[in-house]
Amino acid sequence: MILIWALCGPVEFAAASMPDEDLHTVRGITISTHGGGRDWGQDVIVPTVQDIKTLGANWIATHPYGSISSDGSVGRRRFDDDPATPIHWTRPIQEAHKAGLRICIKPHLAYWGTEFSWRGDITFDTDEKWARFWSEYSVWILSLAEACSEADAFVIGTELDKTLHHEAQWRALIAKVRKVYHGLLPMRPTGRTTNAFHSEMPRCHRRAGVFPGLEHREPDDR
């Protein structure tokens, strides 16, 4: 069973060109996690995807986590039994396609326990920290993009508004990702900040999400 934590609605990818009608009309739901992402690689993902399809969605999304520190360090969320390519990255892609759904991979930096209040607050005060961030963020994103090359969309940056003035670094990362990933490559800013390079890219907007493996509850005012 799944728990709906927001009203279901459309997810829109605003791209310069779309190959078919299914990409123009995106009805998507994010599959969130109560296990750091581990549950995306477990068998519970199968009925979760089927339940989402029953709701009328044609896209799903997952949001693999990376760590972020105030010194600019970025790392991969690891579990003790992780293979080289974590199954919680790739199994949702397989199960979505088996069900006839498309899937978006939307990496998230897990800022909890840091000085940052949210992803849109991530910024650094020295060149050394910025250099570390771009080096390690690029390694993480490239490893994800290569592992998730069969996904239909891959979000290269989620809510990282205070990094957008680093246009050269973003363009360099985009070029590297395009060598290993050939699907739709949107960004997911908050909409509060814009500049020339990311206004040229597809944009995605999340409307709803589910948690796999939970008993169904009627939504309340919380």
What percent of the chain stands above pLDDT 70? Answer: 71
The region of weakest confidence among 2-6, 19-23, 79-83 is 2-6
pLDDT for the residue 2: 36
Q: Which of 219, 200, 216, 184 is nearest to 61 (CA)?
A: 184
Question: Which amino acid would we find at residue 216?
Answer: H
Quickly count helices (H) and strands (E) in the chain: 6, 11
pLDDT given for residue 23 in this prediction: 54
| 72 phi and psi angles, rounded to 5 deg | 95, -5
Tallying the residues shown for the chain, one arrives at 222
38-43: list long-range contacts, CB under 8 Å, 24+ apart: 38/79, 38/88, 39/88, 39/212, 39/213, 40/88, 40/89, 40/91, 40/92, 40/212, 41/86, 41/87, 41/88, 41/89, 41/90, 41/91
Interval 55-96: pLDDT, tens: 999 999 999 999 999 999 999 877 656 677 889 999 999 999
pTM: 0.79
Within the chain, strands assigned E span: 2-4, 13-14, 28-31, 59-62, 65-68, 74-76, 102-105, 108-110, 153-154, 203-204, 209-212
Could you tell me if 3 and 55 are in contact, meaning their C-beta atoms sit under 8 angstroms apart?
A: no
Confidence of residue 118 (pLDDT cuts 50, 70, 90): confident
pLDDT digits (tens, 9 = 90+) for 175-187: 999 999 999 988 7
User: What percent of the chain has pLDDT above 90?
Assistant: 56
Q: Which amino acid is at 217?
A: R
Say whether 156 sits in a helix, a strand or coil: coil
pLDDT tens track for 185-214: 887 655 555 555 555 555 544 444 444 544
* DSSP output for 98-152: HTT-EEEE--EEE-TTSS-SSGGG---SSHHHHHHHHHHHHHHHHHHHHHTTTSS
Q: Would you identify the CATH topology of the domain 2-212?
A: TIM Barrel (3.20.20)
